[in-house]
Amino acid sequence: MQTETTSPSNPATTSQGAPLTLTPAAVAQVKQVMEQNNFQGFVFAVKVVPAGCSGMGYDLNLVKDAAAGDTVFEQDGIKIATDALSAQYLGGTVVDYVNNIQGAGFKFSNPNAKSTCGCGTSFSA
């Protein structure tokens, strides 16, 4: 298990080995959900899974422990885990949390996505 720390002062910059970065809004949302559900100490697991019309999507979960073999890193007090296959597709990704007239949710800016579906829920690489 690898542990790395990202720079909280520049959310668009990841430390070496960290496949993604959370914006301050995403950090705040994850912390809020953890607190509301009494999930302190849980791990924010981010995976790429088969999904949607473009082939791949994102799976976000709060889990008690990272899976064996996952890369684990920390940003602003949140432990984040991903598996090796997902890390290949997530490199350089910035995860934001948006709340606007169209709804609320996590938004992924993934430089590895070659295309996305019309509804924006899946991508191809």
Domains of the chain: residue spans and CATH: 20-112 (2.60.300.12)
Diameter over CA atoms, the chain: 40
C-alpha 15: how far from its chain's center? Answer: 15
**Cα torsion through 70, 91, 93, 95, rounded to 10:** 10
Both structure tokens of 78: 């949140």
Average pLDDT (68-93) is 93
Average pLDDT (91-111) is 89
Both structure tokens of 64: 């008690």
Please choose, from the candidates 24, 17, 40, the residue with its C-alpha nearest in 3D space to the C-alpha of residue 98: 24
The chain-wide mean pLDDT, for the chain, equals 80
Distance in angstroms (rounded) separating the CA atoms of residues 25 and 7: 15
* Banded model confidence at residue 3, pLDDT cuts 50, 70, 90: very low
CA angle 73, 5, 50 (to 5 degrees): 35
Both structure tokens of 19: 């496949």
